[in-house]
Amino acid sequence: MDAAALPSASHLEREFGLFNPEGSGCCPTVDATGAVTCTCSGCERWSKYVAGTLGERWPTYKQYEVLTTEYVAQLARYLRSRRSEIIGDDVVGEPLRSLRVLELGAGDGRLTRHLREELDGHSVEVYATDDHSLGLARGSAHGVVAADALDAIALAGGAARSPVDGSSDLPAACDVALVCWQPIGVDWTAAVRASASFREYLLIGEADDGICGHRRLTWGLEDDDDDAGDSEDDGNGEGAGRARAMPSYMTDGWTRVDVTDELGGRQICRTDERWLSGRRSRSISFRRGAACVESSGVF
């Protein structure tokens, strides 16, 4: 296998026995903390693959979202369709302008690089930024602009001034923010929503109570959301239970759309387990409402 080339989802599923609990041969155990693990040879091999330690003929970098040919192709197709919906065409069917996409926390820029290859000639421009704090970036090999996510949002969201180094490599106004595996406990989405130019942000990775982003600020979940009684009637028929707060993205006028199936429904990530049939990574779009677009005055 060429470690530099994207694998197909089908190949990875066969090679590592993914999403086939009956045939995996796994024997998962539960420890005292409730954590479920499996130490069989197949699971150990999969863990080494996503950690980048399986061997020279395999990728030698950590993988959070395991990029596949199918997913990148579907994501590129999705961005082309969003260009048509967000930007539109002129009277002869030509794009009014390119859709500008900003990837935040891009690591070494592999996702942006593969998207650029798929989108060449389709009026979609993709830019990558990363602050290098996690040691995932590999210099500027894939054109990654060294920038803190919030600084990049300020610049590419239309702010007049920004401390971003190499800011000339970023456009002054982007339309879509792309975030693949936002760090746990961190939220960049509020800044995206507050920036005038952004019309959408797409979050790739575990959603809601997973390990991507901030439970409340990103996903609108409260710490006690698992307690169904908090927002229900108190038992006296008076409806006195505490009302659940509306997610901040909704109060800001944005809508949430799960586009996982639209993008093929075959995402693979580092937290997928061979002994589970379900997939843990999803693709969730958040879109600015029509009223917000009109009031922002942004084209």
pLDDT tens-digit series, residues 137-157: 554 456 899 899 999 999 887
Give the orientation angle of helix 41-51 with respect to helix 9-16, to 10 degrees.
140
Question: In 3-state terms, what secondary structure has residue 95?
Answer: strand
pLDDT, residue 238, reads 52
Bridge-based pairing of strands 282-288 and 254-258 is: antiparallel
Cross-strand pairs, 258: 284
Cβ atoms 191, 156 nearer than 8 A: no
Q: Where are the beta strands (DSSP E) in 70-130?
A: 99-104, 124-130
Question: Which amino acid, residue 113?
Answer: R
The percent helix, strand, coil of the chain (3-state, each to 5) is: 25, 15, 55
**Using the 8-state DSSP alphabet, how is residue 157 labeled?**
B
Nearest Cα to Cα of residue 148 among 168, 156, 140: 156
Kindly list the distances between the CA atom of residue 284 and the CA atoms of 202, 207, 237, in Å, as whole numbers in the listed order: 6, 8, 37
d(CA 149, CA 162): 12
Cβ atoms 128, 110 nearer than 8 A: no
Could you write out the DSSP letters of every residue in 43-71? HHHHHHHHHT-S-TTS--S--SEE--HHH
d(CA 179, CA 65): 11
Tokens representing 40 are 């069989």
Q: Which residues of the chain carry a pLDDT beneath 70? A: 1-4, 136-142, 158-168, 224-243, 290-299
Tell me the whole-structure pTM to 2 decimals: 0.88
d(CA 187, CA 204): 13
Is residue 151 left, alpha or beta, with left meaning phi > 0 and alpha meaning psi from -120 to 50?
alpha
pLDDT, residue 231, reads 44
Could you write out the DSSP letters of every residue in 159-173? -S----TTGGGS-SB
Q: Which CATH class is domain 65-296?
A: alpha beta
Alpha carbons within 13 angstroms on the beta-carbon side of residue 195 total 31
Phi, psi for residue 295 in degrees, rounded to 5: -75, -25
Domain-by-domain residue ranges, the chain? Answer: 65-296
Q: Where are the beta strands (DSSP E) in 194-271?
A: 200-205, 254-258, 268-269
